[in-house]
């Protein structure tokens, strides 16, 4: 069987509202519909974007996390409406690239990671740090959408 026709059972997509992440999300949805796969949508709560006071305030972190979880539920609804039968959500905290590679992939048992090449956040606006880190260290196949 050629690699081109490989069927992935569990497709993990990282979303952060950047244009590239939207493209990655759409690609992952279509792939899951075509292959009847499970779509796992993840977003990472980046602790480096909080100031010290916010990071120490459990209510603040809890509020941010709740907001992120609510946002992921909107993504789940879009996927369901598009025809994806099985959708799971995962919120984690930390550095996105590292957290996805070390925590989210093993926990989700994903066999394909789909990400955008550019992130909307801070210095990560260029392809480099996050996507390159995941491409280098991901234990599973990775598709970078641009």
Any domain includes 18: no
Q: What average pLDDT does this structure show over 91-114?
A: 94
Residue 76 — pLDDT band, cuts 50, 70, 90? very high
Q: How many domains, in total, are found in the chain?
A: 1
Any domain includes 90: yes
- List C-alpha distances in Å: 66 to 42, 43, 63, 86, 142: 14, 12, 5, 22, 28
Contacts of 60 (CB under 8 A, 6+ apart): 50, 53, 54
Any domain includes 46: yes
Any domain includes 16: no
Residue numbers of the domain that contains 36 = 3-7+28-122+129-145
CA distance linking residue 112 with residue 102, whole number of Å = 14
Any domain includes 89: yes
Any domain includes 15: no
Per-residue pLDDT tens digits for 3-37: 566 899 999 999 987 888 899 999 999 999 999 99
Nearest Cα neighbor of 146 from 6, 133, 132, 112 is 132
Any domain includes 138: yes
CATH code (residue 112): 3.40.50.620
Q: What pLDDT was estimated at residue 117?
A: 84
Q: Is the pLDDT of residue 112 over 90?
A: yes
Residue 127 — pLDDT band, cuts 50, 70, 90? very low
Chain center to CA of 73: 13
Per-residue pLDDT tens digits for 37-69: 999 999 998 866 666 666 667 777 777 889 999
Any domain includes 20: no
């Amino acid at each position: 069987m050629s690699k081109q026709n490989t069927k992935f059972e569990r497709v993990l997509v990282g979303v952060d509202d950047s244009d590239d992440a939207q493209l990655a999300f759409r690609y992952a949805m279509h792939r899951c519909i075509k292959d009847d796969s499970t779509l796992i949508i993840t977003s990472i709560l980046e602790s480096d974007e909080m100031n010290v006071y916010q990071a120490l305030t459990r209510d603040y972190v809890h509020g941010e996390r709740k907001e992120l979880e609510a946002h992921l539920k909107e993504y789940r609804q879009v996927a369901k409406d598009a025809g994806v039968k099985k959708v799971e959500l995962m919120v984690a905290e930390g550095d996105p690239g590292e957290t996805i590679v070390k925590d989210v992939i093993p926990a989700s048992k994903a066999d394909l990671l789909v990400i955008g090449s550019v992130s909307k956040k801070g210095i990560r606006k260029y392809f480099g740090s996050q996507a390159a880190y995941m491409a280098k260290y991901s234990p599973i196949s990775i598709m970078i959408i641009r």
